[in-house]
Amino acid sequence: MGIFLNPGNRGFESAVKSQIYVDKTQMLAYTNSVLDSEQRYLCVSRPRRFGKSITAEMLVAYYGRGCDSMELFRNCRIASDSRFREHLNRYDVIHVDINSFRRAGEPEEGIVSRIQGALLGELRECYRECVPGDAVSLREALAGINNAKGTRFVVIIDEWDAVFREEKEDNEAQTEYIDFLRGLFKDAPSKKFIKLAYLTGILPIKKYGTESALNNFDEFTMLEADVLAEYVGFTESEVRELCEKHGMDFERTAQWYDGYVVEKGLHVYNPKSVVDSIRRKRIGNYWTNTETYESLKSYISMNFDGLRDAVARMLAGDSCRINPAKFQNDMTSFKSRDDILTLLIHLGYLTYDRDTASVWIPNEEVKGEFVNAIEDAGWKPVMDAINASDRLLEATWQMDAEAVAERIGAVHMANTSVLYYNDENSLSCVITLAYYNAVKEYTIVREMPAGKGDADIVFLPRKHSDKPAMVVELKWNHSARGAIRQIKDKKYVRALEGYEGKILLVGINYDKKTKKYKCSIDPM
């Protein structure tokens, strides 16, 4: 076994033997189905900590000749597949983590020569008589081995996009690197020696104009996860099972780590965050203090028209329509607000719904990252609203309707440029921002089906909370008392059927003429 050529199965073995492991081996049924086909070139992009490297190690362990992985996979889902044994440990595998070739203080222009030098050394050692003596590139070496022995390779590249992420402005290094990948995967001779190519990283493959630099690859991204959607990231059923097994509150876990829509009807969780919360028996933010947080701060502070407003509205619970098609799949080629927001999808800060072409903040953990970023960026009006939300909650619990109306009005006035609105639906953004810290005590549901309609906002107390449930109805140019009557007439409290604690009915009206809020609060 080598370092890069057939490195063995220890990486995947350590994952399988971990305290918490979720079986994703059925993905191998798909990769087996595309071996040798025109679809054998795959690129899977996901945010950091989504299990990309473990998936790459799984492929190495399954396909590589350098080990016997029968026992490792025997109890995994893939073992029941009819083609499981056909491809197990049958191929020469090259596994490269691009980050391992990046060296502090050394120019990125040398990364391709370092990669090729290391791999050529191992190939010459294992295939002495097959590698042409004058071969200076990986492509030449693999072609020579294939010509001599007919050997075909599974090539797995982890962190494929590291050069584009870490050296954002180094165009020379980026060009040299993408040319290396083109030579390896796009030249006609490569079809002879590539059994399967699998790239994984955060970014999709770099585009030049509208064309992918490696347009022979099928891409599976946060925008279009397609058939591989369930295999990178935890599904809802997987997280529910983990929570039941380890005694965690599933609903709270979902609120904190769920929300990434990858295909219609399917959403996934950040695996690292779920695993850390279960191991520590504590819900919290496990996504901070990483390199992409610094990126988030710089990107949302960029002066693109409408970007700041979009972020603030999403923080208040709204969504935003975007066009992701023009994004160039790098960290610098931004021409519009939509390019920034598309990058944030790939980084894991936003989720995207293809049907509506809209984005939003997926969960509470990520929302916390945004709050930290806008605080550092000096967005004072938004931060003032967030910091004042505890006082608003207290006023609501005390049924101080006048104080509630006053505080909501203050949030609106301070953020007028951001929280523009002209109907009850957009009014809910103001309310959500004003009650931002309510998530500590409540699960918050907008447009909750109840009785004879949908309640605008329902605050459901968490298990640990002794606070009252709240049913909130919003009105535009009507009356707060009319909102209360609607709650009662349409029996919205049925949404709380089975709840035995105190319930508050909250009616809020905004008068467009006076630009004033009125509030009415009734106990049940």
> Which CATH number is associated with domain 291-377?
1.10.10
The answer to whether domain 10-231 and domain 380-523 are alike in fold is no
Written in H, E and C, the secondary structure of 253-297 is HHHHHCCEEEECCEEEECHHHHHHHHHHCCCCCCCCCCHHHHHHH
What is the percent of the chain where pLDDT is above 90? 65
pLDDT value at residue 416: 67
Q: Are 493 and 451 in contact (CB under 8 A)?
A: yes
User: Measured on CA atoms in the order 447, 238, 254, 245, is the torsion positive or negative?
Assistant: positive
| Residue of 167, 178, 199, 200 whose CA lies nearest to 47 | 200
Say how many C-beta atoms besides its own lie within 10 A of residue 236's C-beta.
Answer: 14
pLDDT at residue number 1: 65
- Residues of the chain scoring pLDDT < 70: 1, 103-109, 288-293, 416-426
> Helix, strand, or coil here: 510?
strand
User: With contact defined as beta carbons under 8 Å apart, do 404 and 393 qualify?
Assistant: no
- CB proximity list for 523: less than 8 A, separation 6 or greater: 399, 502, 503, 504, 505
Q: How do beta strands 92-97 and 211-212 pair?
A: unpaired
C-beta neighbour count of 86 within 10 angstroms: 10
Query: Which one-letter DSSP state was computed for residue 204?
Result: P
pLDDT tens-place string over residues 166-210: 877 788 888 999 999 999 998 887 889 999 999 999 999 988 777
The ranges assigned to domains in the chain are 10-231, 234-280, 291-377, 380-523
pLDDT of residue 117: 93
**What is this structure's pTM?**
0.90
Residue 447 φ/ψ region, left for φ over 0, alpha for ψ in the -120 to 50 degree band, beta for the rest: left
Of 454, 520, 517, the closest CA to residue 485 belongs to: 520
**Which CATH code, of 3.40.50.1440, 3.40.50.11810, 3.40.50.300, 3.20.20.140, is assigned to 10-231?**
3.40.50.300
Interhelix angle 138-149/111-126, nearest 10 degrees: 20
pLDDT at position 310 is: 86
What is the CA 465 to chain-centroid distance, rounded?
30
CATH architecture of the domain covering 380-523: 3-Layer(aba) Sandwich (3.40)
- Closest CA relative to residue 472, chosen from 409, 396, 415, 364: 396
Model pLDDT for residues 141-176, shown as the tens digit of each residue: 999 999 999 999 999 999 999 998 887 778 888 899
The 10 Å Cβ neighbour count of residue 42 is: 20
Question: What pLDDT, on the 0 to 100 scale, is given for residue 104?
Answer: 56
